[in-house]
Amino acid sequence: MRLIFMGTPDFAVPTLTALAAQGHEIVACYTQPPRPAGRRGLELTKSPVHRQAEALGIPVRTPASLKGEEEQRAFRDLDADAAVVVAYGLLLPEPVLNGTRLGCYNGHASLLPRWRGAAPIQRAIMAGDRETGMMVMKMDRGLDTGDIALEERVPIGEDVTAGELHDTLSRIGADLMVRAMAALERGSLTLTPQPEEGVLYAAKIDKAETRVDWSRPAREVHNHVRGLSPFPGAWCEMELGGRWERVKLLRSRLAGEAAASPGDLVSADERLAVACGDGAVELVTLQKAGGKPLPATDFLRGAAVTAVR
């Protein structure tokens, strides 16, 4: 089929690659414009999808908005059978949604209608969900409200991080979209409306919610840490050598009961465990500002932790 691909981050790259490998003619790739990057923010960096599209010889378009008539006309003029959308980052106005012969199909990383919105992977883990998945839906005017075409469920392990789940769902999403487009081409793709109950919204992660609150139960703290790992990262302050420093927490595990007040160190020799409102959490991988991620044993060799807040 003649397809338009719309996506931006690493998460979308496997789907783009898989569709191209299946022999679909991808007539254009829409992605977010290059952004400033580097320490000084002086270099413009192309998105992962942009780079992969160029490597595959696919024309790339980077409009800042799709609201203008000229952009909408250019989209329609591609004369595509369908558009595939994976983590693109721009809302699609109705003329774009209707700008292909068969519609726009989105790969979304949750079991809709649970976790509609921007951060479904992080929110599922932070909420302690035991299961998530990938879904392909036909897009409509609402926020992730379209009819479901295909789904695949994935268990969420007790210690899995958002980064690990991201990679798993990205691979599954590529296969699912390939299957969806094959069924669409055959005329056999069936659509099912989403349930009206169970709607939850996965709001974008706000920096203000990334600090760890040790007064919460240990399981909630653990889910908070792994749900924000590796980016943007949960954090706390630690007293290292008599000075308070901000430390990012990238991996943790539950450490049983603790007869201590929230924030008290339960262990700080070869293991680093902190009491929570109920139970304790062991901090497994940590990162100081400007440093690299370290296992707790290596972190403790370089700095004695005397307090946490």
pLDDT over 90 (residue 42): no
In this model, does residue 269 exceed pLDDT 90? no
State the pTM of this model.
Answer: 0.95
111 marked as binding residue: yes
In whole angstroms, how far apart are CA 13 and each of 20, 143, 178, 234? 11, 22, 13, 26
Confidence of residue 40 (pLDDT cuts 50, 70, 90): low
Instruction: Flag whether 110 is marked binding.
Output: yes
pLDDT at position 171? 98
Domains of the chain: 2-201 (3.40.50.170), 207-308 (3.10.25.10)
* Residue type at 101 in one-letter notation: R
80 pLDDT tier (thresholds 50, 70, 90): very high
113 is in an annotated binding site: yes
Give Dmax (Cα) for the chain.
68
CA 235 to mean position of chain CA atoms: 19
Please say whether the beta carbons of 218 and 254 come within 8 A.
Answer: yes
Across-strand partners of 262?
A: none
For 116-227, where are the alpha helices, taking DSSP H only?
A: 120-126, 162-186, 218-227
- Give yes or no for residue 258 having a pLDDT over 90: no
Place of tokens 């951060």: 119
